[in-house]
Structure 1
Amino acid sequence: MANSNKNSISQFLSTIPFFSEISNASLEHLCDVLHTETFLKNETVFRKDDVGHAMYVILNGEVKVHENQYIYGHLKTGDCFGEYALIDNQTRSASITATQKTDVLKIDRHSFLDLMKTDSGFAQGILAVMIKRHRELDNIQEHLASSNKAIEIANSKMSGLINGAMDAIIMFDSNFKILLTNTSANTLLENQDPLQRNVLFFFDDNSAELIESLVKTNLNNNTKSFNKYLPDVVKVIGSNTTETLNEGTISKYSTDEGAFYTLILRNIEERLIAEDTINLLTKQTEYLEEEIQELTSNYGIITEDMSMKQVLNQIHQVAKTDATVLIYGETGTGKELVARAIHKESNRNDKPLIRINCGAIPANLIESELFGHEKGAFTGATTSRKGRFLLADKGTIFLDEIGELPIALQPKLLRIIQEGEFDPVGSSQTIKVDVRIIAATHRNLLEFSKAGKFREDLYYRLNVFPIEVPPLRKRGNDIYIIATEMLSQFSKKLNKPIVNLSEADKTLLTTYTWPGNVRELQNLIERAVIISQNGSSNWQAIVPTNNNLPKETTKIPEKILTAKELSVLEKENILKALKLTKWKISGKHGAAALLQIPPTTLASKIKALGIERPI
Structure 2
Amino acid sequence: MPDIFNHNVSEFLTGVPFFTEVSRPSLDKLCKTSKTETFGKNESILKKGDVGDSMYVILEGHVKVHEGSHIYCFLKAGECFGEYALIDDQRRSASVTTVEKTNVLIIDRKNFVNLIKTDTGFANGILSVLIKRHRELDIIQERLASSKKDIEIAHSKMSGLINGAMDAIIMFNQNFKIILTNPSANKILENDDVLQRNVLFFFDDDSADFIETLVNNEIHTNTINQYLPQIIKVIGSKNTETLNEGTISKYGVENDSYYTLILRNTEDRIQAENKINQLTNQTQYLEEEIEELTSGYGIIAEDQSMKTALGLIHQVAKTNATVLIQGETGTGKELVARAIHKASDRSDKPLIKINCGAIPVNLIESELFGHEKGAFTGATSSRKGRFLLADKGTIFLDEIGEMPLELQPKLLRIIQEGEFDPVGSSETIKVDVRIIAATHRNLKTFAKEGKFREDLYYRLNVFPIEVPALRDRGEDVCLIAQEMIKQFSKKMGKPAIALSETDKSLLQNYNWPGNVRELQNLIERAVIVSKGHLNLHNVVPNQLHDESIINKPTTIQDKIYTAEELSALEKNNILKALKQTKWKISGANGAAALLKIPPTTLASKMKAFGIERPI
Counterpart code for 1:190: E
Tell me the equivalent position of 2:456: 458
1:542 to 508, 531, 539: 539
Tell me the equivalent position of 2:357: 359
Tell me the equivalent position of 2:308: 310
In structure 1, what is the Cα distance between the partners aligned to 2:463 and 2:196? 63
In structure 2, what is the Cα distance between the partners aligned to 1:235 and 1:595? 68
In structure 2, what is the Cα distance between the partners aligned to 1:220 and 1:525? 79
Counterpart code for 1:536: L
Within a 5 Å distance, the mapping from 1:186-335 to structure 2 comes to 186-193=186-193, 209=206, 212-213=209-210, 215-216=212-213, 219-220=216-217, 223-252=221-250, 261-295=259-293, 297-335=295-333
Within a 5 Å distance, the mapping from 1:342-357 to structure 2 comes to 342-357=340-355
Contact 1:513-1:547 within 8 A present in 2 as well: no
Instruction: State the shift of 1:227 in Å.
Output: 1.6
| TM-score normalised by the chain length of structure 2 | 0.61
1:471 to 469, 472, 479: 469
State which structure, 1 or 2, has the greater radius of gyration over its C-alpha atoms.
1
Contact 1:358-1:400 within 8 A present in 2 as well: yes
Q: List gaps (5 residues or longer) in structure 1.
A: 1-142, 558-566, 602-615
* Structure 1 residues 276 and 155, CA gap change in structure 2 (3 angstroms): same
Counterpart code for 1:189: L
- Provide, for residues 177-217 of structure 1, a one-character-per-residue CA deviation record: whole Å limited to 9, x for no partner: 7665443222113244556877566556xxx6366346536
SS in 2 for 1:209: helix
* Structure 1 residues 568 and 594, CA gap change in structure 2 (3 angstroms): closer
Instruction: State the shift of 1:345 in Å.
Output: 1.1
In structure 2, what is the Cα distance between the partners aligned to 1:244 and 1:593? 69
Contact 1:508-1:548 within 8 A present in 2 as well: no
Contact 1:487-1:526 within 8 A present in 2 as well: yes
1:394 to 380, 392, 397: 392
- Provide, for residues 536-570 of structure 1, a one-character-per-residue CA deviation record: whole Å limited to 9, x for no partner: 3142x32233444889xxx989xxxxxxxxx9996
* Structure 1 residues 199 and 364, CA gap change in structure 2 (3 angstroms): farther
Instruction: State the shift of 1:353 in Å.
Output: 1.5
Tell me the equivalent position of 2:491: 493
1:419 to 400, 404, 417: 417
- Backbone CA RMSD of aligned residues: 4.1
* Structure 1 residues 428 and 194, CA gap change in structure 2 (3 angstroms): farther
In structure 1, what is the Cα distance between the partners aligned to 2:412 and 2:477? 38
* Structure 1 residues 257 and 315, CA gap change in structure 2 (3 angstroms): same
Counterpart code for 1:390: L
Tell me the equivalent position of 1:373: 371
Contact 2:201-2:208 within 8 A present in 1 as well: no
* Structure 1 residues 256 and 533, CA gap change in structure 2 (3 angstroms): closer
* Structure 1 residues 219 and 569, CA gap change in structure 2 (3 angstroms): same
Contact 2:511-2:543 within 8 A present in 1 as well: no
2:432 to 431, 434, 440: 434
Contact 1:174-1:215 within 8 A present in 2 as well: no
Tell me the equivalent position of 2:128: none
Contact 1:302-1:478 within 8 A present in 2 as well: yes
Tell me the equivalent position of 2:65: none
Moved more, 317-326 or 227-236: 227-236
Contact 1:497-1:535 within 8 A present in 2 as well: no
Contact 1:303-1:478 within 8 A present in 2 as well: yes
Contact 2:162-2:169 within 8 A present in 1 as well: yes
Q: List gaps (5 residues or longer) in structure 2.
A: 1-137, 142-147, 554-571, 586-590
Instruction: State the shift of 1:320 in Å.
Output: 1.2
* Structure 1 residues 329 and 411, CA gap change in structure 2 (3 angstroms): same
In structure 1, what is the Cα distance between the partners aligned to 2:178 and 2:600? 72
In structure 1, what is the Cα distance between the partners aligned to 2:398 and 2:545? 33
Instruction: State the shift of 1:310 in Å.
Output: 0.9
In structure 1, what is the Cα distance between the partners aligned to 2:361 and 2:512? 31
Contact 1:171-1:178 within 8 A present in 2 as well: yes
Percent identity over the alignment is 67
In structure 2, what is the Cα distance between the partners aligned to 1:265 and 1:203? 12
Instruction: State the shift of 1:492 in Å.
Output: 1.8
Contact 1:171-1:261 within 8 A present in 2 as well: yes
Contact 1:592-1:598 within 8 A present in 2 as well: no
Moved more, 229-238 or 291-300: 229-238
SS in 1 for 2:284: helix
Number of residue pairs matched by the alignment: 438
Moved more, 365-374 or 228-237: 228-237
Tell me the equivalent position of 2:56: none
* Structure 1 residues 285 and 484, CA gap change in structure 2 (3 angstroms): same
Contact 1:520-1:597 within 8 A present in 2 as well: no
Contact 2:410-2:420 within 8 A present in 1 as well: yes
Tell me the equivalent position of 1:99: none
Contact 1:377-1:425 within 8 A present in 2 as well: yes
Question: Quick check: 1:168 aligned with 2:168?
Answer: yes
Instruction: State the shift of 1:366 in Å.
Output: 1.9
Contact 2:303-2:474 within 8 A present in 1 as well: yes
Moved more, 421-430 or 316-325: 421-430
| TM-score normalised by the chain length of structure 1 | 0.61
- Provide, for residues 64-117 of structure 1, a one-character-per-residue CA deviation record: whole Å limited to 9, x for no partner: xxxxxxxxxxxxxxxxxxxxxxxxxxxxxxxxxxxxxxxxxxxxxxxxxxxxxx
In structure 2, what is the Cα distance between the partners aligned to 1:459 and 1:528? 41
Counterpart code for 1:216: T
SS in 1 for 2:486: helix
In structure 2, what is the Cα distance between the partners aligned to 1:378 and 1:321? 38
* Structure 1 residues 259 and 351, CA gap change in structure 2 (3 angstroms): same
- Provide, for residues 13-51 of structure 1, a one-character-per-residue CA deviation record: whole Å limited to 9, x for no partner: xxxxxxxxxxxxxxxxxxxxxxxxxxxxxxxxxxxxxxx
In structure 2, what is the Cα distance between the partners aligned to 1:345 and 1:415? 26
* Structure 1 residues 251 and 408, CA gap change in structure 2 (3 angstroms): farther
- Provide, for residues 216-265 of structure 1, a one-character-per-residue CA deviation record: whole Å limited to 9, x for no partner: 36645764531211235545454445444433112345765697654211
